[in-house]
Chains A and B, each alone.
Chain A
């Protein structure tokens, strides 16, 4: 409880400093705004932007467009990454080829795929999806491989004496045994997917839908810093919520059951 209070106080103070420096606290005599609103708008303007565009539905529609892209790309990334990771853990030749490819591509920030994607797919949804998939699948592949490699061999031996076939062992022993690694890989994959989608939306203007990242891009073009900062808030919020609502419950269940971590 005390830690929550400390945390909340910290953020309130930051917003107050921001408000004080940008003229929002003029009624307290702090009317010296350090920057023009074109460079650093006051919190009230950002809040007004968020409120107006939520009420008129623009942000909601964009959120729908963006989340759809994110989910589709992420799921495709998982569907490709997890099985390939299992193959890489199982077969040395897959590890030496695909595994090393994954290592190299994972070192590449996914925004670097944007120019290629634009040339290959044009200004289309496919280009955005491609970037998201590239952001997701390599990290998922690597963490799946790592997870499966870390399963104690004794589990598979125990299972086979109890009559498990290799397929049964894979599904009922190896997969659950590596679940903590796979879930943390999925979480990392989600974070990468989200980052790469934002990068792609900022660079690629697609006519088939106006995403959150595109609001950020136009905010810059129109010199609307309230819009830019407002959209940044939304991006942070989506990232945090996904973490808290999607992954945290699963992770804490895993920790309780497996007895890892501190709780």
Chain B
């Protein structure tokens, strides 16, 4: 017999609409120069959409994600969650980083429990059940009591995914989460993340350098160009799911986007 609260928690699918309105952000680097990381960036993301942000290094993708997460404030403009301005970090928006950022002093399940522990209206026993459910979802249930340093890079990112999913956020923000992994591990994760998106129906904003990755995962790909960071073009991706990264149509779509992207970089170096 499982608990009522546990079921309610697992069968709740909160999601939200995200809009970014005329966001500007400038940094002053260590040599005193002003870097325009984002200039007049506007973006609308619907409930349950899987949006991939792609662009060359330095075009402000991480900065935009940090602003949505509430870890950074825009100089002007704003980001809104269901129409409410974002002023700081919150459990409704979870962030997954390039480096796993798991806590080495906790075991796997302890990491997944970290955010859950701060979620009210659940008993510790229910939290444990919830944590186990998410570990199962990312296929890491057998490693619940492993130490973090004993896991491979791919396993760490799975645990980090479970940790981000566990508080049941409306939005999942992912900043190049797979870029440090080898190709084989990545391919398996592409399948799994699509599966998770399907099962948990989250709004996902996914940042990557890799155009193929973006086309494989996203229902929409947003192209950024650097100096200053701007949204250049958007590509809806209508390929059937689940998608395989080696698929022919997918490859065609990515080469189209890649040539567009190369155009910005060529213009940049002139």
Contacts and interface: CB of A to CB of B under 8 A. Distances in A.
A162 B71 contact: no
B93 to A, nearest CB: 7
Interface string B103-141: 111000000001100110000000000000000000000
A161 to B, nearest CB: 5
Contacts of A162: 91, 94, 114-115, 118, 163, 167
A40 interface: no
A176 B105 contact: yes
A179 B90 contact: no
Count chain A CB atoms within 10 A of each CB in B104, B114, B147, B150 and give the residue with the most: B104
Contact of A154 (B99, B105, B115): B99
B105 A161 contact: no
B93 A257 contact: no
Nearest to B97: A154
B120 to A, nearest CB: 10
A158 B167 CA distance: 13
Contact of B90 (A163, A176, A177): A163
A169 B90 CA distance: 14
B174 interface: no
B20 interface: no
Contacts of B221: none
Interface in A145-190: 152, 154-155, 157-164, 168, 172-173, 176-177, 179
B78 interface: no
Chain A interface, >50% SS class: helix
B70 to A, nearest CB: 8
B97 to A, nearest CB: 6
Contacts of A158: 95, 97, 101, 103
A259 B104 contact: yes
A234 to B, nearest CB: 37
Contact of A168 (B89, B90, B93, B118): B118
Chain B interface, >50% SS class: loop
A125 B118 CA distance: 47
Contacts of A258: 104-105, 149
B69 interface: yes
A179 to B, nearest CB: 7
B215 interface: no
Given A161-B71, A259-B150, A173 B167 contact: no
Contacts of B99: 154
A167 to B, nearest CB: 12
B103 A177 contact: yes
B118 A259 contact: no
Given A256-B147, A257-B147, A155 B71 contact: no
Contact of A159 (B93, B114, B147): B114
A164 B97 contact: no
A159 to B, nearest CB: 7
A161 B95 contact: yes
B162 to A, nearest CB: 13
Nearest to A259: B149
Contacts of A161: 69-71, 89-91, 93-95
Contacts of B118: 162-164, 168
B204 interface: no
A118 B111 CA distance: 52
Given A161-B69, A162-B118, A163-B115, A257 B105 contact: yes
Contacts of B205: none
B79 interface: no
Contacts of B91: 161-163
Interface string A109-146: 00000000000000000000000000000000000000
A163 B103 contact: no
In order of increasing CB-CB distance, the 9 nearest A-B pairs are: A259-B149, A162-B115, A176-B105, A158-B101, A163-B118, A163-B91, A160-B89, A161-B95, A154-B101
Given A154-B99, A259-B149, 20 more contacts: A155-B101, A157-B71, A157-B95, A158-B95, A158-B97, A158-B101, A162-B94, A162-B115, A163-B91, A163-B119, A163-B167, A168-B118, A172-B114, A176-B105, A177-B104, A177-B105, A258-B104, A258-B149, A259-B104, A259-B148
Interface of A: 152, 154-155, 157-164, 168, 172-173, 176-177, 179, 256-259
Interface of B: 69-71, 89-91, 93-95, 97, 99, 101, 103-105, 114-115, 118-119, 147-150, 163, 167
17 contacts: A155-B103, A159-B114, A160-B71, A161-B90, A162-B94, A162-B115, A163-B119, A163-B167, A164-B118, A168-B118, A176-B103, A256-B147, A257-B105, A258-B104, A259-B147, A259-B148, A259-B150
